Structure formats: C-alpha cells, structure tokens
Amino acid sequence: MFPDGFVSRLHPGVPGVATEHTSGFLDRLEQGRLLWLYRWVYTRMDHIITPSNELAEAVESLGIPKQKITFVSNGVDTEKFSPEVPPKNIRHQYALAPDAKIVLCPRRLEPKNGVKYLVEAVPAVLRQCPDTRFFIVGGSYPDQLTLLQKRARELGVLDHITFAGSVPNADMPSWYTAADVVVLPSLKEATSIAGLEAMACGRPLVGTSVGGIPYLIDGDKTGLLVEPRNPSQLADALVRVLTDDATRREMGIAARKKAVEQFSWTRVAGTVQSIYKKIPGVESHGRNS
C-alpha cells in the first residue's frame, strides 16, 4: 500500500534508496490515487530504482528528477536455472506424443497477466499445431480460474490446457526445460522474473511489448514480441516458434547467453552496489551499523 522508503523517510538524515517495482503503483497513478504520498516519499529519497523503463517514466511523471531514477533489471540465478536441469516428465504424466509441443505460461491468474488472451489464442495454434499442450503454472484468483476454464470450454480447447496451479520455485527449472516455448501474455510487467528464468533455462520467449518484457526479447533473436490483448498475433508468434525447430533452438541458445551475460544476480547486484556507493553518507552509515 505504501511506497517503498516510507518508513525510512520518518528518520531524517538516513540515506534512502527506494525500489518501485509493482503494477499496483502503475494502477494508482492511472487512477490518481495516493499521488501526494508517492511525491512526498520519492522527493525525499536519495535514489529510486525501478526494474523497467515504464516504471522509471512513471516515477518521473510525479516530478521526480530523472537523474534520481535508475532502471535496474531483475536478475536470475543462472546456475539454478539452466538448460542442464532434467525436464519434468510431463510427457509421460499426460500421455503426450513424443513429438508433441509444450507451451508453458508461468503466470498467476490475475487479470494483469493476460492469461485469457493466451486461452483465446489456443484454437488458432491448434489448427496448425494440433499436437500442442498448454500448461499454465500459477495459482490464486479462483474466480479467474473459473472464468478461464469456462472460456476454454466455450472454445472447445479445455482438453488441451492444463491449469497446474501453484508450483514451488524450486520445481520451476524442470518445468522450463520441459517446455518448447514460454509465453508471457502480460498486460503489465516489470523485468519478468519468470521470463528471466525461462531464458536462463535456454527457452525462447513469446511475450507482449509491455513494461520490461521488450528488454528481455530481442526480436527474432531470443524470442518474439506481440501486441498485448491480441490473441491473433500471439497465436501467429507461437506457431512460428513451434513449427521452426532450428529457429526455436537458436533462440533458446541466444536467450541463455543473454541471461548469463546481462541478468545474472552477480551482475545485477554489482549495478545496485554502484548506485549505493554514489550516495553521500551511505558508507559512513554502513560502518556505524
């Protein structure tokens, strides 16, 4: 509810760095809610970090000087998430044909994640890739699950979609390596952690051109970008990746390379550390703590 850094601003003289990383912040800006509070806090912070350019621009729109805001992407453990992780045996579990394609959508079912647009894209994908199974990994929002299942039933594709519910993060690497492609149909997103995990596992992404997703997807290199709320474009992109084995393999290799070189936690932590070191008083407070 309160912006990061609120408590620290109750202690004048203490250096403050905030991280603004929520879609709720974007929602409140659109609705004109709590703007006074965000301005009060962020004008008093020494620096604000955001995990997407969209969020950086949103903070700046409050009148915060641009030089006080830095986009720093989220990171990923490139050892835990790796192409070398044995895939989850979902082909056997769900009696899939050896050459069946697997599309993984690692999204909670809240509306901002756009899962309904993936459901609506499924019929078009199946017309060209009939042996495709869609796995949606993410729980909560039982009302949304009911609506999504109803829509899939109306479209006649419910048997091709598995709503797997919540999965522990420790189990996610094997889900990624079992997939042929990972899809992010989001309407709002920072630097998607799920997207980074998929890339680190050597899987191409199909994602929407919102928030930090375009920062992950180099068009035609690590995946494909589509417009949000566009099932037709989403289906076309998925079909393109699913039907071109060589391209899919090359995208996966490029995705892994980019994850290691740009998004490892070691690299991201170094960037954050450099920001802190530039703030007057940070090192002296650190020595006194």
Q: What is the pLDDT of residues 88-119, one digit of tens each?
A: 999 999 999 989 999 999 999 999 999 999 99
pLDDT, tens only, 48-83: 999 888 889 999 999 999 999 999 989 999 999 999
Which range of residues forms the domain containing residue 228? Answer: 90-262
Cα 192 to Cα 167: distance, rounded to the nearest angstrom: 17
Q: Which region holds residue 165: left if phi is over 0, alpha if psi is between -120 and 50, else beta? A: left
Q: Are residues 101 and 225 in the same domain?
A: yes
Model pLDDT, residue 10? 53
Inter-CA distances, 280 with 7, 51, 72, 133, 276, Å: 20, 23, 20, 54, 9
Inter-CA distances, 110 with 63, 89, 154, 259, 274, Å? 30, 27, 20, 26, 35
Judge if 67 and 197 occupy the same domain: no
Distance from C-alpha of 225 to C-alpha of 217, rounded to nearest angstrom: 7
Is residue 76 within 8 Å of 232, Cβ to Cβ?
no
**What are 29-46's pLDDT values in tens digits?**
888 888 999 999 999 899
Asked, for residue 2, whether it belongs to a domain, the answer is no
N- to C-terminal Cα distance for the chain? 28
The pTM of this model reads 0.87
Asked if 134 and 271 sit in the same domain, the reply is no
Whether residues 46 and 115 fall in one domain: no
Q: Is residue 82 part of a domain?
A: no
252 and 269 in a single domain? The answer is: no
